Structure 1
Amino acid sequence: MYKINDLIVYGKTGVCKIMDVTIPKDNSFERDQLYYVLQPLYENSVVYTLVNTNVFMRPIISAEEAERLIDMIPKIQAEPYYNDRMQELTQHYEAAIKAYNCADLIELVMSIYAKKQIVKQQNHKFGQIDQKFMKQAEELLFGEISVALGIPLDKVQKYIASRVEEQ
């Protein structure tokens, strides 16, 4: 069980701080059930979720793990994923995101970015589904790296780029 002030990844919401662990008195909640009160770090909202929810939760990665992930970026051979069927393309991207694994998110972002570059060279339009999932993966990944390394969210992409260039 997580404690107050723990930082966790909560599903597609991303990094959240646990503000409280409580049994809400409001009738709209399940009676006598323990809830986490979460404050998403990059949204202005509060989330109440059952302690034993099915929504994915895990502690954020450490600074060392974040640095290790960044160091492995040049070694990743990300292949663009093509599928004319929007449903299958969506399922492929959702599976990578729902793994909630930073290494998978890096690979997904790199794969979609490679696809974007190829589409651009061919003077074609970059797909909305590709754009949506690249943005979602970047938000989850950069949000967690920002907290793990203690750097502002808007500086994460440049930090990663500079670290990769050093190698």
Structure 2
Amino acid sequence: MYKVNDVVVHENGGVYRIVSIGKPDFVKGQEEYYTMKSVWDDSSMIYVKINNDKVYMRPVISKAEARSYLEKLSGIDAEYDTNNKEREKKNRQILKSCEVSQYLELMKAILLEQEKKKQGGKKLNCSDEKDLQRAEKMLISELAVVFNVTVESARKSVVEAVFTQDKEG
């Protein structure tokens, strides 16, 4: 069970701080909820049942874990599946997982494909663009919290790690 002020990653919305635990006024019944506020958008507040096994939440990773993931980025397999249906299915599973290594794999594959298409004068398809934005929202906001930097700075670190390490590998 989480405590007030814990920072967690929520499967549908990014990084949240638990501001209270209890029964919100609008709820009938006895179930308790986490009241959570987005760390990046003060207007975003969500309520999650404490005993809800259908919603995935986890604590944010530590600085050491974050550094380790970025350092290992070159070893992460970033296969871009050319079969649109299979890729979209896999991407949905990854985005639902809230797993940092899978987010990095997804981002790396899409960023490398984006660069490849850019070289050929093309753009990513709409589905890949949305998947990249969602993965960035989840992972980049978490890294920004972990490293206590702006979202832009965290994104830059990931993009640099993808392209620097890809050229080395």
TM-score range, shorter chain: 0.7 to 0.9
2:131 partner letter: F
Look up the SS of the partner of 1:144 in the other structure. Answer: helix
Partner of residue 98, structure 2: 100
List runs of 5+ in structure 2 lacking aligned partners. none
- Structure 1 residue 156 corresponds to structure 2 residue 154: yes
Q: For 1:5-154, list aligned pairs within 5 A.
A: 5-26=5-26, 29-43=27-41, 44-53=43-52, 54-85=54-85, 88-154=86-152
Deviation at 1:162, TM superposition (A): 5.5
List runs of 5+ in structure 1 lacking aligned partners. none
Q: Pick closer, same or farther for the CA change 1:33–1:77 going to 2, 3 Å.
A: closer
Q: Are 2:7 and 2:17, in contact at CA under 8 Å, matched by a contact in 1?
A: yes
Look up the SS of the partner of 1:12 in the other structure. Answer: coil
Deviation at 1:152, TM superposition (A): 1.6
- Over aligned residue pairs, what C-alpha RMSD do you find? 2.0
Q: Return the TM-score normalized by structure 2.
A: 0.87
1:70 partner letter: L
Number of residues of Structure 1 aligned to a counterpart in Structure 2: 163
Deviation at 1:159, TM superposition (A): 3.1
Q: Pick closer, same or farther for the CA change 1:148–1:125 going to 2, 3 Å.
A: closer
Once the two structures are superposed, residues 73-101 of structure 1 have per-residue CA deviations (whole angstroms, 9 ceiling, x without a partner) of 1222412122244xx44322111111111
Q: Return the TM-score normalized by structure 1.
A: 0.88
Q: Are 1:81 and 1:115, in contact at CA under 8 Å, matched by a contact in 2?
A: no
Once residues 61 and 163 of structure 1 are traced to their aligned partners in structure 2, the CA distance between those partners, rounded to angstroms, is 18
